[in-house]
Copies of this chain bind each other. A is one copy, B any other.
Amino acid sequence: MKNTIGNSLTVTLFGESHGKAIGAVLDGMPSGIKVDEEYIASQLTRRRPKDALSTPRQEKDEFSILSGVFEGRTTGTPICITIPNADTHSSDYGEMQYKMRPSHADYTANCRYNGFQDYRGGGHFSGRITAALVAAGALVLPALNKKGICINTNILSVAGETAEEKRNEKILAAKSEGDSVGGVLETLITGVPAGVGEPWFDTVEGMLSHAIFSIPAVKGIEFGLGFNFADKKGSEANDQMYADGDSVKCYTNNNGGVMGGITNGMPIVFRTVIKPTPTISKEQKTVDISTMQNTTISARGRHDPCIVHRASVVVESVTALVIADMLSAKYGTDWLAK
């Protein structure tokens, strides 16, 4: 499968940046769950570019639920949400049909789709498609919250800076130079009971990373201490345990809530690195694939100098979809509505 993920609860993505609409089909939601359109809108707003830190492209993200919701509640059948594309400046992209933006998907899309891809605005590879993931996640998050499961993604750093003010300075500086910066996000999931996940393949880490890596610009993921485990001794790194009434807890959470691929009841913690936005206006060397000549490119179009802050709600949404899928598989398809 390609643009579908999940076993018990599945999401199918579709759409291109400058096509009629983007959207998602969320299948496997149990019936009877309240659908809060204002919450969906507010999540989409969190993802939307705002102020000087982002692209000037302004989409209203006026989503439409085509199916699967009746009288304000899920029916249990597939929920198709579409978000029309409105504020498209396709003419900005004429040059880019053949001039491949370095580190963007332009060239790989061309290889994968033999030149037939909709190249305008990144097409199906555009970060814009993540709006559909956010909308799908917004159907699931309130139901998870009612189950006591909370998901939060915070910015750890941007361009090496951890303090918000400094981070924003870095973003604005990069913007003024026609450049871009990346950063690191940390996600915390609380309320997932111990015993969720599989020992092989469908580990918690494997399921989350499979989905998270489809968020554009993510290039790494680590759980708990992650790469910092490399320099630690077992005696330093192991999460020693104690009894807390009927349950077992850890003094530390170096494993980020997952051992042997399975949750241990501690908060699940992972970090994702977001690379600097590849589309920059600084001149770069590239190839015109229509002539196979070397050339340079200075990206036009409206672009983000940094997407770390916009990506946080996307990571939360994708995380919600994966966690809800794993729990629905374990506890049954109706569990989320109970």
Contacts and interface: CB of A to CB of B under 8 A. Distances in A.
A1 B27 contact: yes
Contacts of A274: 229-230
Interface residues of A, number: 155
Contacts of A111: 193-195, 262-265
Given A7-B7, A8-B329, A125-B260, A159 B225 contact: no
Contacts of A78: 2-3, 12-15, 124
Contacts of A147: none
Interface string A241-281: 11100101011001110111111110000000111111110
A60 interface: no
B70 A117 contact: yes
Contacts of A129: 200
A29 B229 CA distance: 34
Interface in A132-176: 157, 159-160, 174
Nearest to A220: B222
Given A114-B32, A286-B241, A66 B3 contact: no
Contacts of A100: 241, 248
B182 A66 contact: no
A125 B1 contact: no
Question: How many copies are assembled?
Answer: 4
A89 interface: no
A299 to B, nearest CB: 10
Nearest to A305: B234
A286 B259 CA distance: 15
Given A78-B12, A179-B235, A206-B209, A254 B1 contact: no
A109 interface: yes
Given A182-B232, A233-B159, A242-B294, A262 B112 contact: yes
The 7 closest A-B CB pairs, nearest first, are A105-B260, A220-B222, A111-B195, A180-B234, A31-B116, A108-B262, A332-B332
18 contacts: A2-B27, A14-B80, A15-B66, A19-B66, A20-B65, A105-B261, A108-B197, A108-B263, A109-B260, A111-B262, A112-B195, A179-B235, A184-B230, A206-B211, A206-B213, A229-B276, A233-B276, A329-B329
Given A3-B198, A180-B235, 20 more contacts: A1-B202, A2-B28, A14-B68, A19-B67, A22-B67, A25-B25, A75-B123, A76-B114, A76-B117, A82-B82, A105-B262, A107-B241, A157-B230, A157-B231, A205-B209, A205-B219, A219-B226, A229-B276, A234-B276, A329-B332
